[in-house]
Structure 1
Amino acid sequence: MTPSESNNSNTFEADGYGLEILLPNIVVLAIPENKRSAIAPVHLVVQITNNTSEPFPVSFDDTFIPELVNSDGQTLQGLFVINEQESTNQQQPQQQSWIFKLKRLLLKLANFNRQEDTKSINSWLVQPGRDTGVWLDGRLFWQNNLLILELPNKNFSFDFEYFRPRTYYSFHALQPGHYQLRFIYFNKTNSNYNNESSAIGVTNLSQIKSSHPATPFVNFHLIQPMEPNGNAVEVNGIRFETIMPERVLTLPRKKDNTIFSIQIGLRITNNTQDPLRFSLWSTLTPELVGADGQIQQRGGGSDAVKAPKESDFPLAMPGECIEFFLEAKLLWQKLDQFKLLIVRKDGGYWWFDQLKLATYQIRFSYQEFWETRQWIEYGRESIEQMRSSKVWSGRVDTPFVEFQLNKL
């Protein structure tokens, strides 16, 4: 294997395929509150590009070993964990033990009865000149007063092996500051290793780094939310804050087609010396967590595609702030459950369903890759023209704000 850096500094190429963590140059993760229910999802995507002339096999069993480096240049030791989600539940150790053993038994039975066609479900071919994304969804949380970053080593987002244990690498006792992250890639088809090995990469990281391809390092910052309310973070003089004026939502009695509108949005304050333009078109992604710390599954779709307009890229002068509220609604569902629907500026929408009368935490992740954006402008003769301007690019995961759903 002869790996080499491609022309794109963010992409690593080896054996004719490129690896890249899809993140902007500036990445900020807000540190969650130090309490049991405060769990912040960390969504990462590794893009694999096939630059060869032959199809390239990719599998859900492919393994990604995270390598995390702190601001002192020290590589942090990751702890390999199986079914970490059980350890955060309020269960007795004996109960955890028998649940784990039962899942291991079900796993063995599932693997024993697996048919050949399952392999075709769990793997796919990336055609020449095409790419594919691998979702590695981690989380940031506190445990025993230690800040922990937990990153999966496989793609569990579309898991067809329902009894497969979740496996993670857990980095403990993190501090606010600057970090670098990359993933070392083990392709199940092309790598010579035992895929069922439990702790691959924990003790021999230095050895596997020289023999397997990896993504380039990406930079990110862990930032403590700002006082007094802890709802905002600031990076390079720019402050981001999730805003929700009403935190206790009293819903009317259930009726057919009842819709309850809520106010939720993002405030951006420009504390720099330069005017800055921000993108509100397809850049905000909501994240919802229950009172028990359970990350709520998010769905999405689109009925139409709307072209960006100049109003989607507001300009903030030095010292000014811009506020943007999304169209958000709560809808009744059956069995006293609700759906939260949030409409995007590009014509799409997000939703969280099966919500109950309870306490939740919500935030937005702002992510803009492009430093220049184009939009439609209506001229004097109502002729649509395209204009472009520089916009602030980066990713900021804002702190959560808490709200309650009550009923009359």
Structure 2
Amino acid sequence: MTNFELNNSNIFQAEGIHLIIWAPNLIVLPIPDNSSTSNFNTFVEFNVYLINNTPNSFRLNPNETLIPELLGSDSQALQGQVVSDEPAHTEQRNIPPQLGFKFKLNQLLSKLARWFFQRKTREFDPRLIDSGQVRLATVTLRLLWQNNLLQLQVINSSSSLQIFFSLLDKSWIFNTLQTGAYQLRFIWGIPFGDSESDSDSETTQGISAEQLATKILNLRLIEPVGANKSATEVDGICFETLMPERLLTLPEKKRGVETRVQLGICITNNTPIPVRLSFFATLIPQLVGANGQPCLRGYFRCVTKRPLASDFPVIMSGENMSLFLYASLSWYKRDQFTLTIDAGDGGYWSFEALKAGVYQIQLTYINKDATEEIYDRESMNTNLVEDIWMGIVPTPKVEFRLVQT
């Protein structure tokens, strides 16, 4: 059986099969600039797991996939248009640790072991889910303008391990959106009541879409605030990416030579009460090139760091806090350079193959846990931190330029 911790308060289940969304209840998307010269769009991503917690194997119906349900403020469902999958995040080569890296690594090793031991008796079938196994989809929410209409794209992207996760190939577009509150969940089924089905007797039977669904997420589309619309404010908490120096000179093409980059976030508490935040691996960078496409991103871990009390500061009412991450530019090869950014948990994010030119960068705050165990260095024990603010909040992108000497 899987060691994935189940929480009956935020999932639905059908006959021991679970659909779990790995995200906080609140997702905020700042509305991008609507201009003919802007390649700006806003996107966030999270994972959805389909878990077999039954004692038996079953085979997925090839016509089934993740289906988003988007409800407006009037609780009426918005009609989405299904399209072919757009791989919006081929830049992410490694799975972020805050989204269950150890769990997914264990699942991968388990799948590899089963595959190699069973390859003599049967051909590997990625649709077949054995007891305790998982299928993973990375879901991207992308907000952009098309023909002066605000559009939300919900993109199902399989993992880079295509041999295992090759079935989730449908994406949806919701048109004519506006600022306001929405609700979003995902169901597992056949899009638009397609009557086609798999005749294989091992295909899942008797599981309706209403039975197999994720928890409901609160989705807010908001206008950026502040000077030059540089911040995202939600429930009185304001997030802004800090980058004092916007013209960066690339370092010499020598190993060990680097250029420090000032990159951070400022969070202002405009609420009447103190707010506790998490800075432990919760700030995810995203880099976009001049063409509006995400740059190749990887996550690498050097050491394992335990969360400390200092990673969970309290911001008093009317005050703000700035946190700068360790970031640097270094030579990669030829005329290409690498930007590395500290992840806060002993690892770092890396954007490679950069050249002189214009880029946009943002930091997304992602915290899905209201409580966290911290390590006390003096007592050498663990304590519990509670009431941590949860949500996914991307800041508006900041533009900067890389130049060569």
TM score, norm. by length of structure 1: 0.78
Aligned residue identity for 2:398: V
Note closer, same or farther for the CA distance 1:9–1:212 as it changes in structure 2 (3 Å cut): closer
What residue in structure 1 maps to residue 171 of structure 2?
168
Distance in 1, matches of 2:187 and 2:236, equals: 34
Distance (whole Å) between structure 2 residues aligned to residue 119 and residue 174 of structure 1: 46
Q: After TM superposition, give the deviation of residue 126 of structure 1 in Å.
A: 4.9
Which residue does the alignment assign to 2:93? none
CA distance in 2, matches of 1:48, 1:83: 19
State the Cα distance separating 1:83 from its structure 2 match: 6.3
Instruction: Quote the Cα distance in structure 1 between the aligned partners of 2:14 and 2:87.
Output: 34
How far, CA to CA, are the matches of 1:71 and 1:239 in structure 2? 23
**Count of paired positions:** 356
The amino acid that maps onto 2:185 is R
Q: CA deviation at 1:136?
A: 2.1
Letter aligned with residue 141 of structure 1: L
The residue aligned with 1:11 is 11
Distance in 2 separating the partners of 1:61 and 1:158 = 21
Kindly indicate whether the alpha-carbon contact (under 8 Å) linking 1:17 and 1:48 is maintained by their aligned counterparts in 2.
Answer: yes
- 1:178 corresponding residue in structure 2: 181
After superposition, residues 61-72 of structure 1 pair within 5 angstroms as: 63-72=65-74
1:62 and 1:154 in contact (8 A); partners too? no
Amino acid at match of 2:176: A
The answer to whether the 8 A contact 2:250-2:402 is kept is: yes
Partner of 2:383 in structure 1? 387
Give distance in 2, aligned partners of 1:157 and 1:175. Answer: 33
The equivalent position to 2:393 in structure 1, one of 387, 391, 396, is 396
- Correspondence for 1:43: 45
> Can you list the C-alpha shifts for 1:12-38, whole angstroms capped at 9, x where unaligned?
101211112222122212222224411
**Residue 220 of structure 1 corresponds to which residue in structure 2?**
219
Q: What does 1:245-324 correspond to in 2, within 5 Å?
A: 245-324=244-323
Could you say what the CA RMSD is over the residues aligned between the two structures, in angstroms? 3.3
Q: 1:249 to 1:58 in 2, by over 3 A?
A: farther
Question: Which amino acid in 2 is paired with 1:333?
Answer: Y
CA distance in 2, matches of 1:293, 1:209: 39
- Which residue is 2:131 aligned to? 127
Q: Is the 8 A contact 2:84 2:169 kept in 1?
A: yes
Letter in structure 2 aligned against 1:172: N
Q: 1:281 to 1:177 in 2, by over 3 A?
A: same
Is the 8 Å Cα contact of residues 60 and 159 (structure 1) preserved in structure 2?
Answer: no
8 A contact 2:143–2:151 mirrored in 1: yes
**Secondary structure of 2:56 counterpart:** coil
| 2:374 aligned partner | 375
Distance 1:154 1:352, change over 3 A: closer
Report the AA paired with residue 407 of structure 1. Q
Check 1:325–1:152 CA distance in 2 against 1; reply closer, same or farther (3 A cut).
Answer: same
Deviation larger for 347-356 or 150-159: 150-159
Cα distance in 1 for partners of 2:373, 2:87 equals 43
Give the C-alpha shift of residue 254 in structure 1.
Answer: 2.2
Q: Can you list the C-alpha shifts for 1:224-251, whole angstroms capped at 9, x where unaligned? A: 1103221211111111111111111122
Amino acid at match of 2:240: E
TM-score normalized with structure 2 length: 0.78
> How far has the Cα of 1:145 moved from its partner?
1.5
Q: Give the partner amino acid of 1:31.
A: I
Can you give the 5+ residue segments of structure 1 that lack an aligned partner in the other structure? Answer: 1-5, 87-116, 196-207
Distance 1:133 1:164 in 2: 10
SS class of match (1:229): helix
Query: What is the match of residue 145 of structure 1?
Result: 148
